[in-house]
Amino acid sequence: MMAQYLALKQEAQDCLLFYRMGDFFELFFDDAKTASAVLDIALTSRGEHKGEKVPMCGVPVHSAENYLARLIKAGCRVAIAEQVESPEEARKRGGSKTLVKRDIVRFVTAGTLTEEALLEPRRANMLAAIIELRGMCGIASCDISTGKMELEECQPERLNAQLARIGASELIVPDSWLAEGTLVPEQAIGRDKQDFSSDGGEERLKKIHGVSTLDGFGAFTRPMLAAASGLIAYLDHVGRGTLPFLLPPTMRSGDTSLAMDEATRTSLEIVQSQQGGRQGSLLASVDRCVTGAGARQLAEDLSAPLIDLGAIDERLALVQYFHDDALLRSDLRDMMRSLPDIGRALGRIVAGRGSPRDLGQIRDGLEKGSRIHDRLSERDAAPVLLEHAMPLLNGHNSLIDLLSRALVASPPTERNQGGYIAEGYDASLDDLRSISGNARRAIAALESRYREETNVSSLKIKHNGVLGYFIEVPSRYGDVLMAADSDFTHRQTMANAMRFNSLHLHEEANRITEAGGRAIAAEEAHFEELTSAVVSKRQAIAETAAALARLDVAAGVAERAADSGWCRPTLSEDAVLDIQGGRHPVVEAALAKKGERFVANDCQLEPKDRLWLIGGPNMGGKSTFLRQNALIVLLAQAGCFVPATSANIGLVDRLFSRVGASDNLARGRSTFMVEMVETAAILAQATTRSFVILDEVGRGTSTYDGLALAWAVVEAVHEGNRSRCLFATHYHELARLAENCDSLSLHHVRAREWKGELVLLHELAKGPADRSYGLAVAKLAGVPAEVVARAKSVLERLEKGRAETGGIAAGLGDLPLFAASAAALEEQCDELRDKLKSIDVDALSPREALDVLYDLKREAES
């Protein structure tokens, strides 16, 4: 057995090997150590190998999916080794001690999951393959749970941006890339470069889809086809020759969606927050979808906003349609709440991993789609996208009828026990079930008869998987059944019971077994027939699933807009960005939970004022203002309503966000280096149609260096890129740029100091900021009073030195050290305290008390 295991383990390579032994999947050696640590299960040992105990652990087969989910989440890959013959077949093949043959039937990896228990319902599970060919990178991506597949190519320098958009759970690359360190993300899997053949990719796609040419799918380039070849070869490997469901590939062009680099996606927290979860992201704030498929479609929309005005307007028109008819929207969402995920059910069925429950989901989903079609047909003048969707929701009546007649109302997930074919669908199957049922009733009658004949009231007829049906009595009654003239045959003696057989029981058991086996075989044949019927309609079913997801997205966005007063944006080719009453959707939702109000602000960028320089205190709302306008642009071009009173947006081709401080120590990049790399990318790639938000450029280095860099960057954006840009800064000196930059406008976030406390108004006002309020913010953050006081004295010297000599460091030479300064402050506090103690408050007249108060104030200020 261990020789067989080790041979399979060599084939599994770096995957954990789930080795089937009876009702358990067992793991041995290092695999067992890894699995026991991840799953928190007992690590035992069994036998010896090379003189040492063999580490071992296992999980039950019936609950293996739960353990697989935890292993995959922990970054493991698993090979499933099943028994591919029965013990009887093994004995016939080589004798009574012949080992049952086992083989790896499937590799379970992060990007190739199809099971419901292993997938997140509201998140697509993408697998991607990439290759560089002829100076271009080919990318093939798919979600095998629904069959969706896309091919694209890009310049090598834009590869990371495209991979960030796809968000693949697993990435297939040539082995050489990993060896050379070209691309080493955690999810990268190396494969033989021979798998990445453009000719091979073309032939594989033709064979999968049964066509002689791919021209009907798109004008795919050689890099695209090479990437497709690598992807399909990997799917063939993990499926052990069984490919999953793949729809005809679509070609994605980089010119069809709003371009965003990885830093921008991370900064704007589009589909996940910077902490790595969905909570706190734009997607979580917008998502009101009632189906998993709708949520996945919304995530895709937000990840790849459109740049085609016509396509954007079609999406907005559908949202408007549901926004204006609250009753229709409510009815649609109520109908969709119970809609099964037919796209993923179809994926499992086509991949050969389907269950009776999946067939039931296809039936129920298509039937619900037909009802939705009828409800939507009640209104006239439908928008274009709805007109396109309507025919896709109908036309499955024959398949729905077949599945409705064939399946029980709630089919089980397992098919090996039968019971999922409805009564009345197959008369011969009904007869077999009747025979089995009659035999069971006969066994119950037989039990009653044996109790009377033996006078043993505790006699029972039981069943288990080893003995089948048997008679059991307590041990003290064993002699009664062991009598020579009895009809009972002894089978087994237990600690407290004895087990017997009888001729009549044997006959009835055979009738049950024979009828039950034939019934299960008949149901299995019907399952294959029903599966074939579904597979033959897979393209139409997938289109219905996509149409339902699009309707769910539109109705969900309309619901979000109606709840929060969002508006329909107007998009044009003009170089403007006019947003009135704009809000940050995530921040607004967070404040609403605390019962607080978000302060809305306007943003009006146009050719004469296309670059705003924004000053003001930290925590005043500068970063929020920058991000909210970027998110409004993104939402609008994704076809969503936006959190604003009104929005007139000139189409944006590329969106850039340089906000916040972060480092990348793994690549040897400090915080300032990351800031400069991202700034360099903006200056190199932004165009006149781009929208750029920049926050605190230059703050990561010395004052003079940072000011000089910020100054130069503002000039470059203004004169070179000529993009619409929001630039937040604390460098007051940059305000002088307005004298020479005609399209630069000065703004600030308002704040006031009231009775020594900083009041942040979160309002944007025109004109430069008067100061940064840095010390006030420090005090607000809880910095010790002595540190704030010390900083105040240093600031006074700095400002005095600058005013007198123009040098920042002037006047610092005689500045006392921190300890001396703190002692002076403490001494001053002690003098005031002594004076307060010496005052006889009860002896003071009101006038004298006021004079004393003024004296104390003058001393404190001095």
> Which positions make up the binding site?
616-623
All residues at 6 or more sequence positions from 73 whose CB lies less than 8 Å from its CB, including other chains: none
Nearest 5°: the CA angle 384, 305, 321 is 30
- SS3 per residue for 596-643: CCCCCEEEEEECCECEEEEECCCCCCHHHHHHHHHHHHHHHHCCCCEC
**Side chain identity at residue 543, one-letter code:** E
- Count CB-CB contacts under 10 A for residue 408: 14
What whole-number distance in Å separates Cα of residue 547 and Cα of residue 568? 22
Where does residue 19 rank: exposed (0-12), middle (13-18), buried (19+ CB within 10 A)?
buried
What whole-number distance in Å separates Cα of residue 575 and Cα of residue 772? 32
All residues at 6 or more sequence positions from 234 whose CB lies less than 8 Å from its CB, including other chains: 127, 129, 172, 189, 191, 195
What whole-number distance in Å separates Cα of residue 580 and Cα of residue 646? 5
DSSP classification of residue 667: G
**Side chain identity at residue 820, one-letter code:** A
The DSSP-derived string for 465-530 is: TTTEEEEEEEGGGHHHHHSTTSSEEEEEE-SSEEEEEEHHHHHHHHHHHHHHHHHHHHHHHHHHHH
Task: Pick the closest to residue 416 from 62, 26, 60 (CA basis).
Answer: 62
Annotated binding site for ATP: 616-623
Task: Give, in order, the Cα–Cα distances in Å from 571 to each of 574, 644, 701.
Answer: 8, 14, 40
> CA neighbours within 13 Å on the CB side: how many for 600?
16
What whole-number distance in Å separates Cα of residue 140 and Cα of residue 252? 10
Q: Per the structure block, which two tokens stand in for 439?
A: 């035999």
All residues at 6 or more sequence positions from 852 whose CB lies less than 8 Å from its CB, including other chains: 839, 844
> CA neighbours within 13 Å on the CB side: how many for 631?
27
What whole-number distance in Å separates Cα of residue 661 and Cα of residue 842? 57
Task: Pick the closest to residue 469 from 508, 438, 433, 496 (CA basis).
Answer: 508
Phi, psi of 34 (to 5 degrees): -65, -50
Whether residue 554 contacts residue 379, with contact meaning beta carbons closer than 8 Å, is answered with: no
CA dihedral 307, 221, 536, 554 (to 10 degrees): -10
Whether residue 35 contacts residue 71, with contact meaning beta carbons closer than 8 Å, is answered with: yes
Long-range contacts of 186-193 (CB under 8 A, 24+ apart): 186/75, 187/110, 187/111, 189/109, 189/234, 191/230, 191/233, 191/234, 191/237
> CA neighbours within 13 Å on the CB side: how many for 602?
9
Helix, strand, coil percentages in the chain from 3-state DSSP, rounded to 5: 50, 20, 30
Q: Per the structure block, which two tokens stand in for 278?
A: 């969905």
First to last CA, the chain: 90
Q: Residue holding tokens 């969606």? A: 257
What whole-number distance in Å separates Cα of residue 156 and Cα of residue 138? 9
The residue count for the chain? 862
